[in-house]
Every structure is written in structure tokens, then in C-alpha cells.
Homo-oligomer: A and B are copies of this chain.
């Protein structure tokens, strides 16, 4: 089981996902897929109910072979986390242990920080029906709980893995929260906008829309503001020019065209 191009080979290895006594192969596969979506590849299984390998897991993984191929098997949760420095236990309900209870976002931040110090983390997930035993939770430094609606607070195993993996990815090098698509065009320059506004004003005066000279400046200000708010691109300004040209031409030629 050699190191691959996965996250472990990098300088900041991602956390291990430890599924303790998982029951359904589908959930193992879907969890593997969610890990691959967010750059994780260290999946550990503690006594999966239906043995290993598992055909249903392969189907559900939908091609996330890089994760399934590297799965490691353990007899106990304690053995599965033996090489880790920081361990979090997911639980669906509060347990009365004196452990911090942390959100996925906080766990992800902490794991990013410890990964930067080359310390390894892992998250324990219990069996579908019963969750982790108290002894297994006791292995953890903190309890990970996903904040949920109290009215319906049950999360599928693979969904829990998805949210933790997503939180890990989110806590990484920040992508912009909002971006424009790659430029096929560029924002219009102020000169291009100004050119359009003058053209527009000329045509609007010519057609009578801005006939009232007194009101004209404030009306033009409002029109400019409206177009400015749109953050127009160069291509769009050209389109607008074309529209105005056509409209004005029709206007000059008078009714009778195919409107």
C-alpha cells in the first residue's frame, strides 16, 4: 500500500476517516466518494459487518477508487487511531463525558492547524444504528457534533462523513466566496461606458424621451446609475450600442417595420 498522489503524500496530510463497524457497503462507498470530493484519502475500517472488500461499496463509490484501494482494516477503534495525534468522535446525541463538543467547522480548523505541524488527525464514525460505544468515544480528544434542527436531528453515516470532509476542504486555502467566470470578455472601461451613455442620451433626446431639458440631467443620472449597477462588460456595452442603434433606426424610419 504505497503512498500515492493523495493528500497524505503532501506536506499537509488530511485527516483519517475511521468507520467503526459500518453496516452497509453503500455507506462505505458513498463515504469514500465524499472523501474524494474533498481531497481526503485515508479511510480506515474497523470490522465492517459484511467483510472487505465489498462490492456494494465499490458501486457506491462511483469511481473514487483512490480511496477504496487504500482502505486499511483494524480490529478495534483503538488500533485504528493508534498512529494519530488528535482524534474526534462523532456522536448524534450529547453524552455526559467531560469532553469539549465541537462543530465540524471548528474541528476542521483545528485539524488544519495540527496538520501544518505534521500532526495527524482522525475522525471516528460509529455504526449506522447505534453509534460509537462510550469506550470508543473515550478514545477521542473531543466530541464532534453536527449542528442540526432539533426537530429532525438524524444524519446518515455517509452524510456525516460528507459534512466533515467538506468542512476540512472549506478550512483549507481559501477560494473566493464569489467570483466572476473566467474572462471571455472584460469589464467595460469608463470611457466605453461614457461613450455609450452619450450615445444613449443623444438618441433619447432625438426621439423625444428626454425632450424636457430641465429634467434631462436628473433623468440621465438615474439612467446612468441603473446601467452602472449592472457592472457591465465590454461585450455587453457593444450589445447595448447595437440595441440603441437598431431602436433609433426604426424610430427614424417611423412605424411600419415589423415590430
Contact = CB atoms under 8 A, between A and B. Distances in A.
Interface of A: 5, 30, 33-34, 36-39, 62-64, 66, 94-103, 105-106, 142-143, 146-149, 151-156, 159, 162-163, 166, 169-170, 175, 177-182, 184-185, 233, 236
A245 to B, nearest CB: 21
A173 to B, nearest CB: 10
Contact of A37 (B34, B103, B143, B149): B149
A179 B98 contact: no
A34 B33 CA distance: 18
A142 B178 CA distance: 9
A34 B163 CA distance: 11
Instruction: Name the residue in A63, A103, A143 with the highest tally of chain B Cβ atoms < 10 Å from its Cβ.
Output: A103
A178 B36 contact: no
Nearest to A6: B151
A181 B34 contact: no
A188 to B, nearest CB: 12
B151 A39 contact: yes
A13 to B, nearest CB: 14
A38 B154 CA distance: 10
Contacts of A66: 151-152
Nearest to A175: B147
A129 to B, nearest CB: 12
A162 B151 CA distance: 16
